[in-house]
Structure 1
Amino acid sequence: MWKSRAGSVSVALVLLIAPLFTFHATLIDAARVKMGERQAETATKAALRSVLSAYDPTLRGYGLFGVGNSPEASAELFSRVFKENLGSSGNGAFSLIEPSPVSESLKPVYTLGNQSVFQRQILEEMKYRAPLEFALSVTDKLTKRSGTASMLSGVSRFTVQAEHIERLMSERDEILDTAWTTSQQMVEKASIFRSYYAKKLGRLNELCQLIGLRNAEELTRSISSLRGQADSLRSAIAERQAGLANLLRAGVQAAEQIAAIQQSIVQLEQSWSELNRQIAELDKILQYIAEYTLLMNTTKLEAARDQAATTAMTQSVMEMLDRAKALDDRIREEIGSLPADSNIAPDALDAAVMPDSYYMKYKTGIGGIGALFNGFETAIAATTLFTGDNKFDSVRMASLTASNDAYAQRAAQFAGEQRLEEVKRSADEQNIARRKKEERNRFSNIWDQARKIWAECGEGSSEAYRLLEVGDSASGTISLYRKYADYNRLAVEAASSVPEMGDADAALKRTTGMIDKLLEGIASAAGQFRNELYFNEYALTKFNYRTYGKETGPDGQLKPDYEGSERGGHDLQGQEAEYLLYGLNSCLKNQSAAYGEMYAIRLAVRTAEALMSPEAKLASAGNPVVLLLWSLAEGAAKAFADMTKLVNGEEVPISTKAPDTLTMNYKDYLRLFLLLHTKSGPMTARMQSLIDLNTGRDLRETAVYMQARTETQVRLWFIPYTLAAFGYPVEGNRANVSKTASLSY
């Protein structure tokens, strides 16, 4: 039977048809599963789109899209739409694929609590609503269209130069004060020297008259001769007295002889007494000569000593005057290099330097005293005692007296003339000190008035700020700001309040700092901060600020608000943008911070205008700091008037030097401050906190990017296990199909 050929054709056909059948059966099932996979993918995406279509309408008012349903509702919606889109009829009708759902899962990947996602949605919203030209219009007004930035730059540099000039002036005045003190001491010494040397010369003249033409050598010889004669007379007297005594002892009665001897003794004693008188007179004259000689020598030594002291004082004064003049030369250089864009008249500070004639006259006067005293000392040193052309006599006495009087008279004349100059200089210093005090007080009074309107806060915001910044320690609830900062892993730093304007000196420094910061911010705004400009504009579009609801249009009517964020009904009224900007924990602090910075800019502009005014020269008193303080006080009054208008929602011209059409309002200045010093991370966290506060929506739970995973099964018609070769898991007669889809707003 095995060798029979019957049915060989059938067997051959079976062998041929069986592989073909198996191939086609597998191919049909594979095609059906592939179609089921595509249908599952389409259903998954359709269900995911349906979930995202249920966005939160409240958040939409802020230009944000986030899933509005709860996770349970979103899962139910996804499952329902997914099943409906699988096309499983279940009514017994023929279906080529017949996919059946097995499981679905829906998971949020990103939420609006994520700052990157949050910021991206803001940029999408604002790039159509706030083009860069709108954000940069403020900077254009300050730079290209008005030149205000250039004017402020000049003022900033002048402030630095003014402080330098003031220091040079103070140093110069201290030197001149010391020079005048030394000069007065020199004048006083000159008066003392005159009296002292006048007495010396008078005594020398008196001794010269007593001595006459005799000299010590002649007097010594005369005294020796007279003393020899006196000694001879003394011996003769002694002999006669001895002879008389012998006669008296011998009892010789020779009355006439005794009388003669006694008469002779008397005569000899008279002669001896006369000789002693003459010797005494000559000794006295000899003492006069010794005193005369000693007095002349000591006078010369003292004159030389005093001349050295006078020369030293003269040189000291001269050196101080040279140093003071060098400082004046530096002051002239500083004044000559004032920035051209400050538009300050160069001659406004001419009085800041002492004229060259002051130094020339001073040096001439002080030098004349020293020269005349030097001449007196030279004349004393050249005077001789008894002989020579310069011997001391009445003629020499008159010459020395005249020389002694000359330097004293010159000193008195110098003191009288220079005292007028120094009194004037001192009066100028006192006037400048008085003017500084007056202008500082004037600024302080204006600033005190300005502080009265630096905030307008109603009641009822304390609870909102507690939620935003403090939280509830009793329940362990952290603040909204901390919640979003922690979610984005931001370091939470205490917001630093903006310092007050302070006194006039502090105001100058702060105004200068604000100018520098302003110019730096304007320079940076044109390029790399495009996204930040959009982000800043969002803060002023979706949130309220102090003048919200006060601004009027060209028709004089209040501007309507079409924003869906309904910012007029928020808990923080008239302060949200300020809170976003500064992040302080009260309305007073946030509004006053904005007011202080706004006032500083207006003060800078108004101060610049005052510096450029014709009145500045008269008000400066030649002192740059007085000029600055006066300009500051003038600017403060006008800045206060500007601020009164700004906080009432009015427009204020940028500068009187610019066209009247170039104006800015409160919102424009907030836009400028956002440009200057906003930190993106903290500000974003504060935005999220405010939206959470206003809407009650926890943005951390508000999904914007969803991921879905589904699993379906397709029933196989033919040979199930052959389909495993295509990579599909097979359970019984069903192939499992898994799909993953992601979608975001």
Structure 2
Amino acid sequence: MRFAIKARRLFFRTDGAVTVLSAMMMSSLLLFSGVLIDYARMAALHKAAEDAARTGARSVLSAYDGELYGRYGLFGRGGTESDLIYELVAKANLERKAKASAPAIRLVQPELVSAHANASEFLGTHRIFKRQVMEEMKYKAPVDFTIELAAKFAPMAGPLKEASITVDLLERLRKLYEQREALLQKVLELQWEAVRSVEESDLKKLLPEEGSRSIGVNTAQQLATEHVQYAEWVRIDEALEEAGKARKFTREIEDYVRRARELVRQLDSIRVKAGKEHDSLLAAGTEWLEQAKAVNMQMKQVADEVERQANNDGYDRVAGQDIPGTDTSHDSSVTEQEIKDVQESAGDLVLQDEFFSEYRLELDSHAAAYERLDASAESFTTALSAAVLAPESEAGSQLITGANRLIADYGRYSSEYMGSGSIVERRHLRSNDDLKQKRKEQEKKADSLWRQARAMLEGMKSLPEEDEHGAQFQQVKQRYEANLLFNQHEASGDEAAEDGTRGGKSSNDAHEQAESSISLMGGLFGGMADTLEKTRDSVYAGEYVISRFSAFQPQHLKSMIMDGDTESLKQSLALQNQEAEYILYGFYQPAANVAAAYGELFGARMGIRTMEGLVQCRSAGHPLLILSCSLIYGLEKTMEDFVDFSNRGAAPLSKYAKVDISYTDYLRLFMLLHGGADRPSRLARMIAIIEQNRGITLSYVPTAVTGEVQAAAELWFLPGAYKMMGGFGFLQGKVVDGRYETTQTIGWSY
């Protein structure tokens, strides 16, 4: 009751207090509402300006270079000038926002103060270029590679791995084998020289063969026989002298003594000269034999190695992948086993330890035979000298015994080491068997084939340069260097030289080419394995090059291969015919990149064909004959493959995999082999080619814009209050002459 009375008094007072209170409350409410309404209008202006800025940026980017995208899959600004598009779209967008509220109260009426777009993120920047390439290829490249290429090569992984191990093993053993055989040949030559040192001396003249009836006047046998007569002459002359009579046989005695002393002198001279040579030669032969034994031990270690699969892990990684579309019609395990059989036969090249023990014993026996002969000669000369001085003693009988022993020892040495059927000749015949002749013939044929192939490959490098083609390469070189400079990389030839190292290097002989080919195939399978195991960027960049740039067609080689005519090839070396090869190798001579690519193609084909040769040549028997036969097979079939490439641009992968692989497929593999298709030098070469073909500079082609829109709207309430708030930094824009202005910046890119 009391509350009701108090309330009535409050609301029905007549002194004006309620009116003042109500006015205060209403003015505060109106002030608060006005601030909120203008704040909402400012927020709407921000949103309208932001939408206009975004739409303008997207509209500017919609004007892209259609030819650049169609040919290279790259987005870059082109067409109408950016600011014009941006201003028109931004203004239209703001007006559309205003008209959308036409049926109702228009809370905000935006007004475009200014609009402009700034270019950024230029396509010539490697980071931007690479990003677009990755986006272009991220779906296409893995499918293409897996289905089109990896599935074709996968069945060959096992046989090629075994071929790689086998060729590497046989080549290592071949080099050691030839070194060992050269050492053994040296031992044999020293044996012959030792024999000749005796044979070419005068010993044979002084010692007629045992049983010979032709006895010279100054031979050991003659002097030993005449000693009885000599002793009689001395006895008679001594008796005459004692009787005071004149000597009767002085001349005969002096003649015998002279001849005896001459024989002693000759034998001593022969012993000194021949003996010294004979001993040193056989001693040297023993040293060479020990060296040959050491080399043989190295061969044994190589042949006994269990782990010879270093750098072959790419084969296992590819073989271990489950690749859709893999051809299983060929049982590769059969081929692998056949190559393993060849591999296991490599141990036959190693000589047993007994060989060297027997040879060492033979050398020792040879030296001992001469020592016996030398000892007999020394004993005879001593006996002859004694017999001359003391003819009346027992020296005469000893002299005959010594002469017979000397003649017998010489005859034994002669029969064992001189002439037909001797120990040295028998060893010589064993060391020059049919194997050496067959190897010599096969090596000669292999070298002849390699010279032909090398002449073809080297001929491609040495083609004279067309002025027009050279000018194209110089122009693209300038663009390449300019792009590297734009990306703050030094323009140098080091990377280009590194890119083309494999393709540009020529092997010296067929064996070196075989090793290079096998190594190249290991690299190809390693790159293939990296691809299958999701090594992305390099693969995508390589696939992009193959799909978007021209490659040199093998048909241009037909005239050179078939007729030796290089004119057609020379005319086809324009840059636009070999863009992929230039990007891969980076040479600036028109023929150099093509020569590098086809040099590696030759290596890849020879690696596969040599693998086939190991199977085809198993019947040759000896491991080194199998190796040389395989090289001949590989070279012949590789040249046939080049004929196929020149006719139809492709050749069968292998005799054991009836599927064609094109030249461009091999280029894709070479991209993987060299790696780094996404590194600065290759990216710069891609950009240089695009610029050359399009007549533009990608360093000036933007792929992103930053749009700025400045919009304004009238403030309905308390502009002074908002200006004060703006001064304290509470607003996103500013108040000017009763209007609120805001600036919105939006960035957008392809």
Q: Which category of TM-score, normalised to the shorter sequence, fits these structures? A: 0.7 to 0.9
Partner of 1:612, secondary structure, is helix
SS of the residue aligned with 1:67?
Answer: coil
The match for 1:111 among 103, 122, 138 is 122
Letter in 2 for 1:84: A
Stretches of structure 2 lacking an aligned partner (at least 5 in a row): 1-13, 209-215, 309-336, 557-572
Q: d(CA) in 2 for partners of 1:102 and 1:586?
A: 57
Are the equivalent residues in 2 in contact too, given 1:103–1:711 (CA < 8 A)? Answer: yes
The residue that corresponds to 1:65 in the other structure is 75
Q: State the shift of 1:373 in Å.
A: 0.8
Unaligned stretches of 5+ residues in structure 1: 227-274, 472-477, 551-569
Determine if contact 2:169/2:303 at 8 Å carries over to the other structure. no
Cα deviation, 1:81-119, whole Å, max 9, x if unaligned, reads 111211365999652111211112211120221221122
| 2:293 alignment partner in structure 1 | 326
Correspondence for 1:652: 651
Q: Which residue of 2 aligns with 1:25?
A: 34
Q: Secondary structure at the match of 1:409?
A: helix
Q: How does 1:295-314 map to 2 (within 5 A)?
A: 309=276, 312-313=279-280
Q: Counterpart in 1 of 2:448?
A: 441
Distance in 2 (CA, whole Å) between partners of 1:390 and 1:117 is: 115
Cα distance, 1:488 vs. partner? 2.0
> 1:31 Cα deviation (Å)?
1.5
With normalisation by structure 2, the TM-score equals 0.74
- The yes-or-no answer on 1:85 pairing with 2:93 is yes
Q: In the alignment, which of 244, 263, 269 is matched to residue 276 of structure 1?
A: 244
> For the Cα contact (< 8 Å) 2:473–2:589, is it kept in 1?
no
Contact conserved, 2:170 with 2:346, CA < 8 A, in 1?
Answer: no
Contact 2:56 2:89 in 1 (8 A): yes
Alpha carbons 2:121, 2:703 under 8 Å: kept: yes
Task: Note closer, same or farther for the CA distance 1:335–1:84 as it changes in structure 2 (3 Å cut).
Answer: closer
Question: Aligned letter for 2:513?
Answer: A
Give matches, 1:314-353, under 5 Å.
315-316=282-283, 319-320=286-287, 322-323=289-290, 326=293, 329-330=296-297, 333=300, 336-337=303-304, 343-344=341-342
Farther off after superposition, 433-442 or 61-70: 433-442
Matches within 5 A, 1:178-189: 178-189=190-201
Q: What corresponds to 1:403 in structure 2?
A: 405
TM-score between the two structures when normalised by the length of structure 1 = 0.74
- Please give the alpha-carbon distance, in whole angstroms, between the structure 1 residues aligned to 2:554 and 2:265: 94
TM superposition shift of 1:509: 5.5
In 1, distance between residues paired with 2:277 and 2:478?
Answer: 79
Match of 1:99?
Answer: 110
1:598-644 Cα offsets, whole Å, 9 max, x none, are 011111222232233236727x7x7x4x7655533332221111122
Partner AA of 1:20 in structure 2: L
**Partner Cα distance (1:75, 1:27) in 2:** 36
Q: Could you tell me how far 1:372 is from its partner in structure 2?
A: 3.5
* Matched ranges for 1:240-639 at <5 A: 275-277=243-245, 280=247, 309=276, 312-313=279-280, 315-316=282-283, 319-320=286-287, 322-323=289-290, 326=293, 329-330=296-297, 333=300, 336-337=303-304, 343-344=341-342, 356=355, 359=359, 362-363=362-363, 366-367=366-367, 369-374=369-374, 376-377=376-377, 379-380=379-380, 383=383, 385=387, 391-394=394-397, 396-413=398-415, 414-416=417-419, 417=422, 418-419=424-425, 421-422=427-428, 425=431, 436-448=443-455, 463=468, 466-467=471-472, 469-470=474-475, 479-494=478-493, 495-496=496-497, 498-499=503-504, 501=506, 504-505=509-510, 507-508=513-514, 510-527=516-533, 529-547=535-553, 574-585=577-588, 587-614=590-617, 617=620, 624=624, 628-639=627-638
> Which residue is 1:138 aligned to?
149
Q: Which has the larger radius of gyration?
A: 1
Tell me which moved more, 410-419 or 318-327. Answer: 318-327
Paired residues in the alignment total: 652
1:69 alignment partner AA: G
- Give the corresponding residue for 1:731: 736
Task: Give how far 1:670 is off.
Answer: 0.8
Moved more, 480-489 or 195-204: 195-204
Deviation at 1:401, TM superposition (A): 2.4
Deviation by residue 1:149-181 (Cα, 9 ceiling, x = unmatched): 304422244323322332332233233323322
- Aligned-pair distance for 1:310? 7.5
Retained in 1: the 8 A contact 2:53–2:744? yes
Deviation string 1:118-165 (CA, Å, 9 cap, x unpaired) is 221222121222225725863554455542430442224432332233
CA–CA distance in structure 2, aligned partners of residues 337 and 287 of structure 1: 73
Cα displacement (A) at 1:669: 0.5
Give the deviation of 1:594 after TM superposition.
1.6
- Could you tell me how far apart the structure 2 residues matched to 1:43 and 1:549 are? 57
Whether 2:651 is the aligned partner of 1:640: answer no
Q: Give 1:529's aligned amino acid.
A: T
User: 1:453: how far off?
Assistant: 8.8
Answer with 359-368 or 108-117: which moved more.
359-368
Would the alpha carbon gap of residues 342 and 108 (structure 1) be closer, same or farther in structure 2, given more than 3 Å must change?
Answer: farther
Task: Encode CA deviations 1:376-428: one digit per residue, 9 max, x unaligned.
Answer: 2475488575999993234x344222212223222332211233643674687
In the TM superposition, what is the alpha-carbon distance from 1:192 to its structure 2 partner?
Answer: 5.8
Change over 3 Å in CA distance of 1:659–1:399 after alignment to 2: same
Deviations 1:575-600 (A, max 9, x none): 23222222333553333322121011
Residues 511 and 603, structure 1, Cα contact 8 Å, conserved in 2: yes
Percent identity over paired residues? 22
Tell me, yes or no, if the aligned pair for 2:87 and 2:115 is still in contact at 8 Å: yes
Seen in structure 2, the aligned counterparts of structure 1 residues 363 and 197 have a Cα distance that, compared at 3 Å, is farther
Distance 1:360 1:8, change over 3 A: closer
Cα deviation for residue 454 of structure 1 reads: 9.7
